[in-house]
Structure 1
Amino acid sequence: MPDSRIVIFEDSKHLRESLQIVLNGTPGFICTGAYHNCSDLLHRIEKDRPDTVLMDIEMPGMNGIEATRIIKASFPDVHVLIQTVFSEDAYIFDAICAGASGYILKTTSLTGYIEALQNVSSGGSPMTPGIARRVMELFRANMPERPTTEKVELTAKETAVLQQLVTGKSYKMIAAAMDLSLDTIKTHIRNIYLKLQVNSNTEAVARALRDKLV
């Protein structure tokens, strides 16, 4: 399996270089670019061809939320993992609505960064402990219920998996919690996506909360 390609946008030189060194020294990862701002953003993404972008929110010029929105519009298959000092609701909600796959705080250890990037690569939506619950509350407050004539028929196992997704757990964490294989969890999640007519964890969580499926 090829190494997961990571691009970093981080204005702190120390953190940027530390992350770059750690990533390049970790099997399964390669850092193909590290930048202190988001100038010439799309050219850099096209040149570096990342699988995942590690994105700071506060940088000189364009902020990380707007950069995330632009990346997802032009490169929808590229994951964006937000890393920031901000835990305020507005930042969290805006980042997820912009298309971020996960949201971690800079208090996270370097090992925690690697685990979060591994989770994103395996289809998870990593969040610093405490953030996931706030995300649930934000979606409940901001996603209006919509009347629907279609009834979603999830199995008991699918409902349990969806509940785990809502808490922000990665596929591996869900598999461990439910004592099931990773492949079985992936099968359940594919079925959930199909039944909910969604294409990502974030959409599945939003639909689950909006329609009170869990």
Structure 2
Amino acid sequence: MISLCIIEDLIEIQKGLETIIEADSNFTLLKSYENAEDAIGELPDLRPDIVLTDINLPGKSGIDCIHELKSKIPETLFIMFTIYEDNDQVFEALKAGASGYILKNTAPQKIIEALLELYDGGSPMSPKIARKVLSSFNPNTTSNTVNELISKREQEVLLLLSKGFLYKEIADKLNISLSTVKRHLNHIYSKLQVQNKTEAVNKLYGK
């Protein structure tokens, strides 16, 4: 089961998300919050797999929330929930450590699909935001710079990936679980600001 928490101040929307999540057998909803402050105080203990958070919240924003929590719960994946598709706040959230975003008018099944994609190592976002993220990253990044950005374990995963090993084979070689491999890849994609393994490998070799 994929554990999840919601941060959304509009109760009607929060309850709608809860209904969607609780109706799917892949997920277990741990708790919902109406503000970032309460979430910041409790999430380090709950350690959910995914946090689905609005950007615009009373008090601290969803972006502030990620800034404060990312180092405390690095394994947790953050995905933004917003009414805006091409917005600087979404871009800032991704730079802060979010791994994707969902629009508030997204159909329930598409929300589930995006969350599953996120958990499986993807970064669901629109092409507009993806282009903005990629263009902000120095295209001349070398492997040395890549190695400064990602951890030693992430380097090992990326190197094996570049040699053509499958996720399961990487897990076996590094004696870690398949889900851990996927988590490492998601962090690699986020840190290198890339969308998939091909782009990540290209960054490794400075292409």
TM over 0.5: yes
Partner Cα separation in structure 1 for residue 109 and residue 56 of structure 2: 23
Counterpart of 1:19 in structure 2: which amino acid?
L
Deviations 1:121-165 (A, max 9, x none): 1111112xxx2343224421x223446486x9x9xx969x9xxxx
State the Cα RMSD in Å. Answer: 3.6
SS in 1 for 2:66: helix
Output the CA distance in 2 between the equivalents of 1:38 and 1:146.
37
CA contact (8 A) 2:86 2:128 kept: no
Whole-angstrom CA distance in 1 between matches of 2:132 and 2:204: 11
Alignment of 1:1-214 (within 5 A): 3-127=1-125, 131-140=126-135, 142-146=136-140, 148=142, 184=166, 199-206=187-194, 208=202, 213=207
Report what 1:172 is aligned to: none
Aligned residue number for residue 149 of structure 2? none
Shift of 1:97: 0.7
TM, length-normalised to structure 1 = 0.68
Q: CA deviation at 1:14?
A: 1.1
Report the Cα distance in structure 2 between the residues aligned to 1:186 and 1:205, rounded to whole angstroms.
24
| Kept after mapping to 2: 8 A contact 1:7/1:52 | yes
> Could you tell me which amino acid in structure 2 is paired with residue 135 of structure 1?
A
Q: Partners of 1:125 and 1:17 in 2: how far apart?
A: 25
Q: Map Cα deviations across residues 10-42 of structure 1 (whole Å, 9 max, x no partner).
A: 111111111112212210211110111112333
Distance in 1 (alpha carbons) for counterparts of 2:26 and 2:186: 29
User: 1:24, 1:58 → 2: CA distance?
Assistant: 24
Mapped to 2, the partners of 1:15 and 1:149 lie a distance apart of: 43
Percent sequence identity is 27
Count of aligned positions: 178
Shift of 1:70: 1.3
Q: Which ranges of structure 2 fall in alignment gaps of 5 or more residues?
A: 147-157, 174-180, 195-199
Q: Which amino acid aligns with 1:48?
A: L
Q: Judging changes above 3 Å, is the alpha-carbon distance between structure 1 residues 100 and 187 closer, same or farther for their aligned structure 2 residues? A: farther
1: CA distance, partners of 2:143 / 2:33 = 48
Q: Is 1:6–1:32's contact at 8 Å kept on the other side of the alignment?
A: yes
Distance 2:187 2:47 in 1: 22
